[in-house]
Amino acid sequence: MVPFAGIWCPAPYPRTQLADGRGCTVLADDDGRQTLVVADDGEVLIMTDDGAELVNTTIECFARCARAYTDARIQARQIDEDDDETMEAHGEHTLATIRSIDAAAVVGENQFWSVAAEELGYGLTI
């Protein structure tokens, strides 16, 4: 499970180009507001009108982070929705797990996986 609101593309995947000239493959698109892509160098990025932001350093890390996030969502369903402290700790644990997979993916608090883990800790995405 990947917390992306867009429509996932079927194969064969469309191609596009980043502002820096790199080619990329489109994985999912949210009506042009944001597009999830894999650059030809392997980075997974979100493209918006403001530019491209790193999601993961490799597609392999993306798959591992998606799996970790899916597992964390399943585990979160077992936490009492009124137990804010435990839910917040679970979000922090999820962030640490993602950091152990791909530290660059959570350097900034507004990066894709950082936001996903924070929202999980608030009980917003269970």
Q: pLDDT tens-digit profile of 65-120? A: 999 999 999 999 899 888 889 999 999 999 999 999 999 999 999 999 999 999 99
The 8 Å CB, 24+ separation contacts for 109-112 are 111/53, 111/54, 111/55, 112/46, 112/53, 112/55
**Each residue's pLDDT tens digit, 27-54:** 999 998 999 999 999 999 999 999 999 9
What is the pTM (predicted TM-score) of this model? Answer: 0.91
Tokens of 114: 């950082």
